[in-house]
Amino acid sequence: MEQKTKAILVGVYQNNYQDFMISLDELFYLAEACDIEVVDKVTQKLSRMNPSCYIGAGKIQEVRTLMDENDADVAIFNDELSPSQIRNLEKALGRRVIDRTMLILDIFAQRARTREAQLQVEIAKLQYMLPRLIRLGESMDRQGGGAGLKNRGAGETRLELDRRKIEDKISRLTKELEILVLQRQNQRKMRKKKELRGVALVGYTNAGKSTVMNAMVDLFNGSADKQVFEKNMLFATLETSVRSIKLPDNKSFLLTDTVGFINKLPHHLVKAFRSTLEEVTEADMLIHVVDYANPHYKDQMEVTRETLSKLGANHIPVVYVYNKMDLVDELEKVNDKNNCIYISAKKREGVDLLINAICANIFKEYVFCRMLIPYDKGEVLAYLNSNASVKAAVYESQGILVDVECKESDYERYKHYIK
């Protein structure tokens, strides 16, 4: 059996100790998601981070002692470290040092399944690595001479060569990603032409977005192959999945499951996943899924709101879905506003209320009318039966009199049949 990597967690707090401990607990779960065993943690209060080593000299010795005692392989720091901080800490500790950003990038790299997600993660990792290339030993000293720029290639350091290789790789991967981004943009254009409304599931990682999607797919599609992967773990879903939901009254919309957010989400990832996250900014409505059973759900909601604001999606109508109510002992409703719904997606409870809220938000332009369809225009009636909600039909001498609820565009298209 392969032995797990052992780690010591290290964090610095400046003001709010409670928020800091929430963040450190989250770091523990991130390490767990990477199959790393956390054997201890070290904290320090500082008025400002130590610019050279993140923590003070005394704490460095404390971390080293704990690592020796627990035979730990790595020290994981709760903030993004500068290249010089990583170099100084690794020298002082004699062990590998990684920061919160690198840990999240590693999880993303392990979980990426589609080519688009793999490209996005690899670009983010390379962008993170670029300023952190560290010269190792004399072998990276300048290898040759050459004055001016003519012979620059022969005199480049190993570090510069490595940097150029990474930049070239980023450029190559970005071009490949751009092709996939273009395909995604074309798909969105096709949906707009078909007047398909878009609803995006957003929220903190592990809030239950994929479970909500599967509950809706299960209710209205009933096809097992349309289910998306769901698991009780951080960042179980990295791929953006889109499913068509057709309701019994023939109203249809596209439901998008997106990557979850987290506190201190690395900016490299936000930048690399921007094309995927455009699915959020292009949506007609957002479903903000909240892990109601998590004691820190309010903080997680705030992180999600801030991330949506950075993406430029804070103008889109939102319905707040407080999920996992089956795990809450006493249901204390946050408020009684119309945009708040309490559900248990796992137990399929309250999903009907969510559907009602979606319909109220994205199908406002539907028109209720009465049409008289001539008997020789059977294709019109067939279209309405498939794409609108026919409430009643009466056969009369001149044709079929129908009460129908339809899209505004269909109303304009067939308004000459209005009775």
User: Percentage of residues in the chain with pLDDT exceeding 70?
Assistant: 86
Measured at the CA of 171, the angle between CA 267 and CA 167, to 5 degrees, comes to 75
Q: Helix H segments across 34-133?
A: 57-70, 83-93, 100-111, 115-129
Q: Are 322 and 334 in contact (CB under 8 A)?
A: yes
State whether 88 and 166 are in the same domain.
no
Q: Is the dihedral of CA 107, 108, 112, 118 positive or negative?
A: negative
Average pLDDT over residues 282-308: 91
pLDDT at site 276 = 67
Give the pLDDT confidence of 52-83 residue by residue, as tens digits: 999 999 999 999 999 999 999 999 999 999 88
Average pLDDT over residues 364-383: 92
pLDDT at site 395 = 92
pLDDT at site 338 = 59
CATH code for the domain of 252:
3.40.50.300
Q: Are 231 and 107 in contact (CB under 8 A)?
A: no
Give the pLDDT confidence of 216-225 residue by residue, as tens digits: 888 887 665 5
Q: Which residue has the higher pLDDT, 157 or 32?
A: 32
Give the three-state DSSP class for 40.
strand
Give the three-state DSSP class for 350.
coil
- Domain extent at residue 391: 367-417
pLDDT at site 331 = 60
Nearest to residue 126, comparing CAs of 111, 140, 109, 139? 109
State whether 190 and 200 are in the same domain.
no
DSSP state of 247: -
Domain boundary among 362, 377, 406: 362
pLDDT at site 2 = 67
Please state, as a whole number, how many other Cβ atoms lie within 10 Å of the Cβ of residue 14.
11
pLDDT at site 1 = 55
State whether 248 and 387 are in the same domain.
no
Structure tokens given for 51 = 């610019």
In a domain, 142, yes or no: no
pLDDT at site 162 = 83
In a domain, 133, yes or no: yes
pLDDT at site 229 = 60
Per-residue pLDDT for 309 more than 70?
yes
pLDDT at site 305 = 92
CA dihedral 380, 384, 385, 388 (to 10 degrees): 180
State whether 68 and 55 are in the same domain.
yes
206: which residues sit within 8 A by CB, 6+ positions away? 232, 233, 234, 235, 236, 260, 291
Domain boundary among 338, 362, 386: 362
pLDDT at site 244 = 86
Average pLDDT over residues 200-227: 82
Query: How far, in Å, CA of 208 to CA of 321, rounded?
Result: 10
In a domain, 322, yes or no: yes
Structure tokens given for 4 = 């797990």
Per-residue pLDDT for 139 more than 70?
no
Please state, as a whole number, how many other Cβ atoms lie within 10 Å of the Cβ of residue 71.
9
CATH code for the domain of 44:
3.40.50.11060
Q: Which residue has the higher pLDDT, 188 or 5?
A: 5
State whether 229 and 337 are in the same domain.
yes
Average pLDDT over residues 100-110: 87
State whether 124 and 216 are in the same domain.
no
Size (the chain), residues: 419
- 250-264, 279-293, 313-327: lowest mean pLDDT where? 250-264
Per-residue pLDDT for 137 more than 90?
no
Give the three-state DSSP class for 375.
coil
- 14-18, 187-191, 289-293, 394-398: lowest mean pLDDT where? 187-191
Average pLDDT over residues 172-177: 91
Per-residue pLDDT for 163 more than 90?
no
State whether 77 and 159 are in the same domain.
no
Q: What is the pTM of this model?
A: 0.78
Q: Would you call 172 exposed, middle or buried from its count of C-beta atoms within 10 A (0-12, 13-18, 19+)?
A: exposed
In a domain, 120, yes or no: yes
- Contacts of 116-119 with CB under 8 Å at 24 or more apart are 116/177, 116/180, 116/184, 116/239, 116/275, 116/276, 117/238, 117/239, 117/276, 119/173, 119/176, 119/177, 119/180
Nearest to residue 200, comparing CAs of 350, 361, 345, 343? 361
State whether 320 and 403 are in the same domain.
no
In a domain, 299, yes or no: yes
The phi, psi pair for 380, rounded to 5°, reads: -70, -45
State whether 223 and 342 are in the same domain.
yes
- 20-24, 334-338, 358-362, 411-415: lowest mean pLDDT where? 334-338
In a domain, 82, yes or no: yes
Q: Which residue has the higher pLDDT, 263 or 235?
A: 263
Give the three-state DSSP class for 287.
strand
In a domain, 146, yes or no: no
The DSSP bridge partners found for residue 322 are 290, 342
The phi, psi pair for 74, rounded to 5°, reads: -145, 150
Number of domains present in the structure of the chain: 4
Return the residue matching tokens 């939901």.
245
In a domain, 217, yes or no: yes
Structure tokens given for 24 = 């450190």
State whether 118 and 66 are in the same domain.
no
State whether 231 and 187 are in the same domain.
no
State whether 122 and 181 are in the same domain.
yes
Q: pLDDT grade, residue 261 (50/70/90)?
A: confident
Residue type, 39: V
Average pLDDT over residues 232-252: 76
